[in-house]
Amino acid sequence: MPELPEVEVTRFRIEPFLVGRRLGAVRTTSASYVFLTKPAALRSRLRGRAVTALGRHGKYLVAALDDGRRLVIHLGMTGQLFSAAATSVRLLSASTRQALAPEEQRCFRPDVHTHLRLAFEDRGPEVYFRDVRKFGKLLLLDPGETTPRLERLGPDALSVRGDLLFEASRKRAVSIKQILLDQSLVAGVGNIYADEALFLSGIRPGRRAARMTRRECDRLADAVVRVLRRSIETGGSSIRDYVAPDGNDGAYQLERHVYARAGKPCFSCGGPIRKRVIAQRGTHYCPACQR
């Protein structure tokens, strides 16, 4: 599933193909749970509008339009937002790719999974939203309209600070990992990044949040930002179906210290990385390096 770094990588790669361009024809697939706004309404309201900005909050992308409306996009599990100018056969799953003839493998053609096709008045490359498993979402907000999907989110994880984690953990009888994964406190920290940040800050994921000191909260907030930034720099993780809009696999998995390394030696102390369920998630940590 795309996590915050992958969504941010998507944002800055697709931004030049969206911002400043005026939409021409808009095509969609038929109504499905991808469409929180009806496909017909999306087609008629988007046409002729210019995209003025592409922002991100947690794992939501928000495209601002020149009429004050906002198009909210969530990539779900397998959603991809990419330009026809930067497509690659690697956008397709391995099985799909193998089913294609060699000449078909050279460029992407919109298929039944391409739920939104944006053409532009400049007749330049189209932009596609494609989602095989359809857990992604498309929602068009009227000027001034809000949605609980965005409203209920805490500050974006890239701006998290120690004082926020400290305050949030005071009255909670939960683990610090639970705090990190609570999207209403911090938006966009997923399981991998929570485990990695806790390792880098030397804190056990199962530690009771209320026992965290202010100094530890500062260290943890720094680690969250560091691990997310590093992942963004390296192009986002590549997790099964996720491939960046230009077809490049990310490389973050090469740098993982604990995630998906159960039983393997810790890079710091050599002891085995342990895995257990914390905050309802498979959690990886080093019992010697994390306290």
Query: What's the burial of 63, exposed, middle or buried (CB within 10 Å: 0-12/13-18/19+)?
Result: buried
Residue 167 falls in the annotated catalytic set: no
Considering only residues 227 through 266, tell me which ones interact with Zn ion, judged by CB under 5 A: 266
Q: Which residues of 185-224 are buried (b: 16+ CB within 10 A; e: fewer)?
A: bbbbbbbbbbbbbbbbbebbbbbebeebeeebbbbbbbbb
Pairing of strands 23-28, 281-285: unpaired
- 3-state SS, residue 78: coil
> Which of 53, 99, 269, 282 touches Zn ion (CB under 5 A)?
269
Residue number with the smallest Cβ distance to Zn ion: 266
> Which of 260, 268, 280, 282 touches Zn ion (CB under 5 A)?
268
Closest listed residue to residue 156, CA positions, set 195, 193, 118, 124:
193
Residue 171 falls in the annotated catalytic set: no
Q: Find out whether 24 and 120 touch, Cβ atoms under 8 Å.
A: yes
Residue 177 falls in the annotated catalytic set: no
Closest contact distance (angstroms) between CB of 199 and Zn ion is 8
Closest contact distance (angstroms) between CB of 15 and Zn ion is 39
Closest contact distance (angstroms) between CB of 198 and Zn ion is 12
Closest listed residue to residue 253, CA positions, set 178, 177, 186, 196:
196
Choosing from 13, 21, 56, 59, the catalytic residue is: 59
Contact flag: residue 286 with Zn ion (CB under 5 A): yes
Q: Total residues at the site for Zn ion (CB under 5 A)?
A: 6
Contact flag: residue 4 with Zn ion (CB under 5 A): no
Of 113-121, 130-138, 233-241, 268-276, which segment contacts Zn ion by CB under 5 A?
268-276
Of 89-97, 154-162, 192-200, 267-275, which segment contacts Zn ion by CB under 5 A?
267-275
Q: Output 16 or 271, the one with its CB closest to Zn ion.
A: 271
Residue 245 falls in the annotated catalytic set: no
What residues have CB less than 8 Å from 78, skipping those under 6 apart? 131, 132, 133, 135, 136, 241, 242
Active-site residue list = 2-3, 59, 281
Positions touching Zn ion (CB under 5 A) are 266, 268-269, 286, 288-289
